[in-house]
Amino acid sequence: MRKLLVLLIIIFLVSCGYTTRGFLYDGYKIKIKPVENKINITSEDRKYSGYTSFPILIENRLTNEIVTKFNIDGGLKVVNEDPEALSLTCTVDDYKKETVRYTDNDDVEEQRLRLYVNIILVDSSGKELIKKTVVGESTYFINRASEESAQIELIDDAARRIVEAVAEAW
């Protein structure tokens, strides 16, 4: 019995552990280009809708948050210029505000914000490693928070999802 217990303890200590760091680019550097805003503010659905708003300078705030998240993650070193670095290009393609819940009087009670960001990760030779759309989300109650505070959470969520898409191999 004692031998079995010792064997189980050894197996437990040296067994495979779960980690969220399934990292593909260990030791690499990354160059993050400023996020480009490609939201068409003159489109028909925005032109005639008083409901759809436009977040001012969301691309600048998202760029700063992506850099911060990569620095916190620590898997990739963020650099300004390096010919050997990976290059991340992000474009904000859409920003949507949807109603989630109404009150009994048909007033809007809760809303969801979504930010659609297209990301492209390219290696130093120009080979495309990742190309996908990442969607950040945030919900808020109209009577408890403002859309601006929900946008902060939205940008944080989108940046976190971008870093996860680049850093983790699933």
The domain ranges of the chain are 22-167
For 64-82, b/e burial (b = at least 16 CB within 10 A) is: ebbeebbeebebbebeeee
Residue 168, classified by CB atoms within 10 Å of its CB into exposed (0-12), middle (13-18) or buried (19+), is middle
Between 98 and 117, the higher pLDDT residue: 117
> Average pLDDT in the 88-96 region?
90
Grouping H, G, I as helix, E, B as strand and the rest as coil, residue 26 is coil
Q: What percent of the chain has pLDDT over 90?
A: 26
Q: Write out pLDDT tens, residues 71-80.
A: 888 778 889 8
In the three-class reduction of DSSP (H, G, I as helix; E, B as strand; rest coil), residue 23 is classed as: coil
- The CATH architecture of the domain made up of 22-167 is 2-Layer Sandwich (3.30)
| pLDDT exceeds cutoff 90 at 51 | no
